[in-house]
Chains A and B, each alone.
Chain A
Amino acid sequence: MQHLWLIPAFPLAGFLVNGIAGRRLPKPLVNTFAVGSVLLAFLWVLKVLAGLQPLEAAYTERYFTWIQSGFVNVGFDFMVDRLTAVMLLVVTGIGLLIHIYSIGYMAHEDGYSRFFAYLNLFMFFMLVLVLAANYLVLFIGWEGVGLCSYLLIGFYYLKKSATDAGKKAFVVNRVGDLGFSLGMFVTMLTFGSLDFATVFGKAQAEGAALNPQTITLICLLLLVGATGKSAQVPLYVWLPDAMEGPTPVSALIHAATMVTAGVYMVARSAPLYNLSPTALEVVAIVGLITAVMAATIGMTQYDIKKVFAYSTVSQLGYMFLGLGVGAYSAGVFHIMTHAFFKALLFLGAGSVIHALSGEQDLRMMGGLRSKIPVTFTVLLAAAVAIAGVPPFSGFHSKDAILLAAHAHAPWMFWVGVVTAAMTAFYVFRAIFLCFFGTYRGDAHPHESPLVMTLPLGVLALLSLAGGYFNVPHYLAPLFGGEHAPHDETLVAISVAAGLAGIGLSWLFYVAAPSLPERISSALGGVYRLVYNKYFVDEAYDALIVHPLRDGSRALLWGVMDARIVDGAVNGAGALARSIGSGLRMWQSGYIRRYAAWVVLGSAALVAVAAFWGGAR
């Protein structure tokens, strides 16, 4: 018994302590419980993994029957295999660093203990999600992280935009969950279980005997859930708005961990997806569309967090591309490296924002290189990692995906390469606008305290060197013999694309700063379309939100309830009154009169029934 339950139990305890008593505790104690609980979870993960090596088969712990009725039987079970192991290390490791960073970042905010309570609760649900041994327990974590995301996006609850964004995230995710739920129902009907081992075991054993359409249906429904949680087309719209939350939240939840849950879930369901080439193709195409679309938007935004948010959407698209072309381990590899460099980008951005007392607009930055050198250095590390510059971490995982894409369909490789160039462009655009040129704002920039820069340093090391954790090799036994052929030419092409992106960015924002203006005005309508994020939010409002809201008000409540149903009821009453207008007793309005009529009426009915009943 490895006591896997302790892993989520530590942060849950932290949540309970800080949630109940945090308001009355001094800050150092709040920190101790919040960070300490995550540290314990991290250490327990290490202990468990050390005890389970080499972890060739999944290790399961069953606790109790959760839901049982008819043919439905779902246990509260946890399991660990190599995929879980990677996720556990990423979640607790990055989570720990971000908790430490938050001590500095949130030091002067109201609701300090509330923030850490939510953050711990998030860790609890995220760990339940990755430890789950069946879809329904996974769904607990899935909904739970959604809740925490809602709470933390709306953390500054006095701001309407923040609470709007939180609500949007929750509702959009619920739309995705609709697909997830239906997927579970079909799985339950098809396999008689939601247990991973049972479902995948049957899927592999019966393979061809199963109805391929049913499998495709399950996979597509699960994918709908994944597009909600992992911000893919068409449900990505909540993630950019989610940047209303405090920056550590953006780093932890909306970059490194929660948003990768969809990728994780699809990778976890690999045995099902392997049976449905159609579903895999859809996964790849959704990923590609998302990657390209979000990257183009990222190139036009001026809010530093929005740039990185669209970058996250785009990178998640990359991961889906990896899954879709069957390179599950490459997709998971990219979850990890992305967690390193994207958490760093956000935390670095947070450090910039912190230094500038809340400024997020890139146009109000510039020349900060010398003023906050540590932040500059670590952000540069993250930038080269995401741009795919060898030998840094992003290079390894991105190339694993692109090579697999080429093996699957060359055009996907080329689209991916173009996206890589755009990625390098927008990240360095942010770096150049922020750190080069002259300072355009009027704050007094100051470097962040050690408690913030230390986690940044660790993440910078991971971003640079993290590509040498050979995740694909570690996961190979799990996902079968997938290995894309190594092709020097293709690697060179994608690296060149990244470098070209960086070069263009240099040209645009350092060498010839007037160029972007000229190009954007030359592009005119196209630029405005992209700058306004293709008007997707507006389209959703016009096509879904407004019709639902106005339709319900006018038609359902106004007409249906008030006029038709109540009209009929009141009309029947009025009719009865007018018929009985000669008989004053009908109009008495006294309940005892009505009661008398009931008795009389009942008696009459009894008589009728007696006659009728007896006559048969």
Chain B
Amino acid sequence: MSENLLSIVLFTPLAGLLVLLFLPRENTKLIRWWANLTAAAGFLASLPLLLRFDRAADGYQFVEKREWIPSLGVSYFIGIDGISLLLVMLTTAMGLIAIFYSWDVIRTREKEYYAMFLLQQTGMIGVFVSLDFLLFYVFWELVLVPMYFIIGVWGGPRKLYAAIKFFLYTLAGGVLMLLGILTLYFQYAAQYGRYTFEITELMKLNLPLGMQQWVFWAFFLGFAIKVPMFPFHTWLPDAHTEAPTAGSVILAAVLLKMGTYGFIRFSLPLLPRASADQTIVTVLIVLSLIGILYGALVSLMQQDWKKLVAYSSVSHLGFCTLGIFALNEAGIAGSVIQQLNHGISTGMLFLIVGVIYERRHTRMIAEYGGLAHVMPNYAIVFAFAMLSSAGLPLLNGFVGEFTILQGAFQASKWWAALAVPGVVFGAAYLLWLYQRTMLGEVTNEKNKGLPDLSWREWAVFVPLMIWALTIGVYPKPYFEILEKPVAQIVHRVHQTSTAVAQADGTAREAISR
């Protein structure tokens, strides 16, 4: 049991999905119950990972390795380190919350809806646990399909446009990424005389800088579109706005993290010299900074509540990529923590839009005003989510932002100095949104008599609020979980990029450990 733990976590949603397919589609109550049970089981199954995880150990844990397509060197090779652990926990937790929230909201084609969500869960977990590059790619592309249908079938008025845009954009990135993967694959074969996609093996590759750079840009497209980094972000506002609430939550909380995770897991360790290359770092940092400021400024202008939250994601993810390419411990650890934080805070903000959308079926900010008077509990939860997103100390966002900026500052004073105004704008667009929707007199007749939060909605928000508060007050466990893997990545990038000349021999020995 213990040695298969990770596989159990990975395939619980898929197993649930298989059973779900045999449930009668008319019995929607049974389907909902089953989907919730599966999601809960998926979350519970992931808890032992957290409990048994050894923070002091190097390398990967819960490793499983079986041959899959031996002739091509493809294996079923999974395992996690601290970085993947946190993202897997985020996935199972947010998956449960998203499915639970959908209970009253989704009333058409429930069977397909929950099937898509469960499939997506397995796909996302797969992305975070794969140590075989082709396996990773399979999961990466697998995630695309359910999200396409979730947006395209259960989405808002412009759902088809948004779904296709989402699909084509990310597909385009994925294909280039595959090309990069294959380059590494063939290079490995050329150097070592056998074929493998195992990233632990591919790390031994000694590639000339020029080729590393080429592969880096191929990966970059795949990851940057997913994050999304400026200027590849325009699919995001459309996808987010049209997706059903639970879809937006998963999209923001987990799906985008696949991109940032890709940079940390693959680009940095596999292509250390390219990752530390001055031009590449500068381009990535500049794009991150533009994303931070641009996302925040455009948020300031939105008339559509949900689009505002979507653009704020661009800004927050800019902080995450900024941290990664600071290429030091504080930056990368801060980035991973901020990825969790973004999942929690933006997840809450999307749920908040969802709550009001279910009641009024409009997302236009101008339709609202004075809601605090009608829905006081809702106002409190919204305020909490806003503060967590805006990075108030003692809530989660601050810890990530501060650590990232300190890391960025260590790397370059100017980068950090340019990113800090993003924090100011972050407060501005959220406060303004809050003022326009929640404060003042109730001006729209239709908003009078709206019911306050239901118990189900409370049940969705309370765990997220507690999570946000615990990260904010006591983030130490998270830093401890991240310490080893982050140090390893940083070490690898710096060691390899400084010891360019004597890259083979002893240095490679040290790296491959």
Contact = CB atoms under 8 A, between A and B. Distances in A.
Interface of A: 23, 64-72, 136, 139-140, 143-144, 147, 150, 154, 157-160, 163-164, 167, 170-171, 174-175, 177-178, 181-182, 185-186, 188-189, 548-549, 551-553, 556-557, 560-561, 564-566, 569, 573, 589, 591, 594, 598, 601-602, 605-606, 608-610, 612-614, 616
A139 B393 contact: yes
A64 B300 contact: no
B393 A143 contact: yes
Given A610-B182, A613-B187, A185 B440 contact: no
A598 B171 contact: yes
A556 B297 contact: yes
B41 interface: no
Contacts of B233: 565
B370 A158 contact: yes
B171 A594 contact: yes
Contacts, number: 177
Contacts of B406: 72, 185, 188
Contact of A556 (B235, B298, B439, B441): B298
Nearest to B401: A181
Given A144-B394, A158-B441, A174 B427 contact: yes
Given A167-B431, A552-B298, A561 B234 contact: yes
A616 B298 contact: no
Given A178-B423, A185-B409, 20 more contacts: A23-B376, A67-B475, A67-B479, A69-B329, A69-B479, A70-B330, A139-B393, A163-B440, A170-B427, A174-B423, A174-B424, A181-B423, A552-B297, A552-B298, A565-B234, A591-B164, A609-B179, A610-B182, A613-B187, A614-B190
Contact of B190 (A157, A159, A616): A616
A185 B405 contact: yes
A163 B402 contact: no
A117 B82 CA distance: 39
B416 A66 contact: no
A605 B180 CA distance: 10
A598 B334 CA distance: 36
B441 A616 contact: no
Contacts of A589: 164
Report which residue of B413, B420, B421, B480 has the largest number of chain A beta carbons within 10 angstroms of its beta carbon: B420
A552 B300 contact: yes
Interface string B449-484: 000000000000000000000000011100110110
Contact of B372 (A139, A157, A188): A157
Interface in B405-453: 405-407, 409-410, 413, 416-417, 420-421, 423-424, 427-428, 431-432, 435, 439-441
A186 B424 CA distance: 19
8 contacts: A67-B479, A139-B393, A181-B402, A182-B417, A557-B302, A591-B164, A606-B178, A613-B183
Contacts of A140: 393-394
Interface in B117-176: 148, 164-165, 167-169, 171, 175
A298 to B, nearest CB: 29
Nearest to B379: A157
A548 B182 contact: no
A609 B413 CA distance: 41
B402 A67 contact: yes
Contacts of A157: 372, 439-440
Contact of A569 (B165, B183, B302, B476): B165
Given A569-B165, A594-B168, A143 B392 contact: yes
Chain B binding surface SS class: helix
B185 interface: yes
Contact of A163 (B301, B420, B435): B435
A385 B168 CA distance: 73
A598 B431 contact: no
Contacts of B168: 573, 594
A373 to B, nearest CB: 39
- 9 A-B pairs closest in CB distance: A613-B186, A70-B329, A185-B409, A140-B393, A552-B297, A609-B182, A70-B330, A69-B333, A553-B301
B387 interface: yes
A70 B331 CA distance: 9
Interface of B: 148, 164-165, 167-169, 171, 175, 178-179, 182-183, 185-187, 189-190, 231, 233-235, 237, 294, 297-298, 300-302, 328-330, 333-334, 370, 372-373, 376, 387, 392-394, 398-399, 402-403, 405-407, 409-410, 413, 416-417, 420-421, 423-424, 427-428, 431-432, 435, 439-441, 474-476, 479-480, 482-483, 486
B398 to A, nearest CB: 8
A186 B408 CA distance: 12
Contacts of A553: 301
B420 A605 contact: no
A561 B164 CA distance: 18
A181 B420 CA distance: 8
Report which residue of A23, A182, A551 has the largest number of chain B beta carbons within 10 angstroms of its beta carbon: A182
Contact of B479 (A68, A177, A594): A68
B178 to A, nearest CB: 6
Given A610-B182, A610-B186, A605 B175 contact: yes
A181 B424 contact: no
B186 A614 contact: yes
B439 A175 contact: no
Contacts of A189: 409-410
Given A70-B407, A157-B439, A605-B182, A566 B234 contact: yes
A18 B256 CA distance: 39
B315 to A, nearest CB: 12
Contact of B183 (A23, A556, A573, A609): A609
B424 A175 contact: yes
Contacts of B235: 569
A549 B301 contact: yes
Report which residue of A70, A181, A589 has the largest number of chain B beta carbons within 10 angstroms of its beta carbon: A70
Contacts of B167: 591, 594
Contact of A147 (B370, B392, B409): B392
B420 A182 contact: yes
Contacts of A69: 329-330, 333-334, 403, 407, 479, 482-483, 486
A552 B311 CA distance: 13
A608 B399 CA distance: 46
Contact of A178 (B301, B376, B421, B431): B421
A60 B301 CA distance: 47
A144 B387 CA distance: 10
A158 B300 CA distance: 22
A178 B420 contact: yes
B476 A167 contact: no
A65 B148 contact: no
Given A189-B410, A605-B178, A613-B182, A561 B479 contact: no
Contacts of B164: 589, 591
B431 to A, nearest CB: 5
A59 B36 CA distance: 53
Contact of A71 (B330, B334, B373, B482): B330
Contact of A552 (B169, B187, B301): B301
A286 to B, nearest CB: 21
A178 B424 contact: yes
B393 A163 contact: no
Nearest to A162: B439
A163 B439 contact: yes
Contacts of B475: 66-67
B482 A68 contact: no
B134 to A, nearest CB: 11
Contacts of B399: 67
Contacts of B333: 69-70
A64 B393 contact: no
A615 to B, nearest CB: 9
Contacts of B410: 70-71, 189
B329 A565 contact: no
A144 B298 CA distance: 27
Given A178-B420, A561-B234, A167 B403 contact: no
